[in-house]
């Protein structure tokens, strides 16, 4: 977008990129339905191939939910082939985006297990990792990690109560390059080192939460912490459970 100095630009990102693989093949689109869908449709996409869109018309969240993706935000998906366990990718990506936002914007988010970054208690980033299977063999051949960051966004009710945004002036090209660099680093690091960082920025231990397991009734529990596999350990009526997926909402004072 040559006419918009604040816009996402492939050339500027490339100039800032210090990765081996991530973002080395990079496409920037004005608009697409979903960068995850776009990348999953590229059967021959190589490890690290990245698609960024300036807006998405059908941005995806987990469980078929929608991720609002207005112009101004950063919507990025990376193809990961044969690297970390797919189940660990979201944790590694959350740590990576946390580091990137801290280094580029000097803003310290908190991580909400498992895939959200919050700023002042509001969600500014969501992450969706989807497995990719070979259409011929049905075997898992990789994972697409999609990261949506709100920048200068104003949301309509009811989303305005929970969604937040990084400030409008953020350098999205520097942010995209930093996300890719940090993601590469977090994929290389031993999982326990990533978890140490993740736990340090995920202040959920001791908090009361509502757990909404898919297809089952919600229940109240207290968070004990995050175990060595990245699962959220909650205690309910004296019983300990490790959650590997599912929705958890924090009980907030407001």
Among 50, 88, 90, 115, binds ligand BT5 (CB under 6 A): 115
Beta strands of 42-84 (E only): which ranges? 50-56, 74-80
Q: How many CB atoms are closer than 10 A to CB 230?
A: 22
Cα–Cα–Cα angle for 59, 61, 62, nearest 5°? Answer: 150
Q: Does 91 contact ligand BT5 by CB under 6 A?
A: no
Q: Which is nearer to ligand BT5, 75 or 197 (CB)?
A: 75
Q: Which is nearer to ligand BT5, 99 or 165 (CB)?
A: 165
Q: Does 51 contact ligand BT5 by CB under 6 A?
A: no
Q: Does 77 contact ligand BT5 by CB under 6 A?
A: yes
- Give the residue among 53, 50, 37, 42 at the shortest CA–CA distance from 78: 50
Q: Pick out residues in 55-74 that bind ligand BT5 (CB under 6 A).
A: 56, 59-63, 65-68
Q: Does 54 contact ligand BT5 by CB under 6 A?
A: no
Q: What is the dihedral of CA 94, 88, 206, 208, to 10 degrees?
A: 80
- Give the residue among 62, 212, 75, 56 at the shortest CA–CA distance from 148: 75
Q: Pick out residues in 141-200 that bind ligand BT5 (CB under 6 A).
A: 146-148, 150, 159, 163
Q: How far is the CB of 137 from ligand BT5 (least distance, A)?
A: 25
- Give the residue among 51, 165, 50, 181 at the shortest CA–CA distance from 105: 165
Bridge partner list, 216 = none
Q: How far is the CB of 191 from ligand BT5 (least distance, A)?
A: 21
Q: How far is the CB of 190 from ligand BT5 (least distance, A)?
A: 26
Write out the residues near ligand BT5 by the rule CB under 6 A: 34-36, 56, 59-63, 65-68, 75-77, 115, 123, 126-128, 146-148, 150, 159, 163
């Amino acid at each position: 977008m040559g006419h918009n100095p604040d816009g996402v630009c492939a050339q500027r990102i490339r100039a800032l990129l210090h990765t081996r693989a991530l973002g080395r093949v990079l496409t920037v689109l004005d608009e697409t339905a979903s960068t995850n869908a776009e990348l999953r449709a590229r059967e021959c996409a190589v490890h690290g191939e990245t698609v960024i869109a300036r807006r998405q018309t059908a941005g995806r969240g987990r469980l078929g939910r929608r991720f609002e993706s207005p112009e101004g935000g950063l919507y990025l998906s990376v193809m990961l082939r044969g690297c970390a366990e797919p189940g660990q990718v979201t944790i590694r990506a959350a740590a990576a985006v946390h580091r990137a936002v801290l280094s580029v914007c000097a803003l310290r988010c908190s991580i909400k297990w498992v895939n959200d970054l919050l700023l002042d208690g509001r969600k500014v980033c969501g992450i969706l990792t989807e497995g990719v299977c070979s259409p011929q063999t049905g075997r898992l051949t990789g994972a697409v990690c999609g990261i949506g960051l709100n920048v200068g966004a104003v949301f309509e009710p009811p989303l305005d109560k929970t969604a937040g945004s990084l400030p409008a002036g953020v350098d999205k090209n520097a942010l995209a390059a930093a996300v890719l660099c940090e993601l590469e680093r977090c994929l290389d690091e031993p999982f326990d080192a990533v978890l140490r960082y993740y736990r340090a920025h995920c202040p959920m231990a001791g908090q009361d939460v509502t757990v909404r397991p898919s297809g089952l009734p919600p229940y109240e529990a207290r968070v004990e912490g995050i175990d060595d596999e990245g699962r959220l350990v909650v205690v309910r009526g004296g019983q300990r459970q490790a959650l590997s997926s599912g929705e958890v909402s924090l009980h907030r004072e407001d």
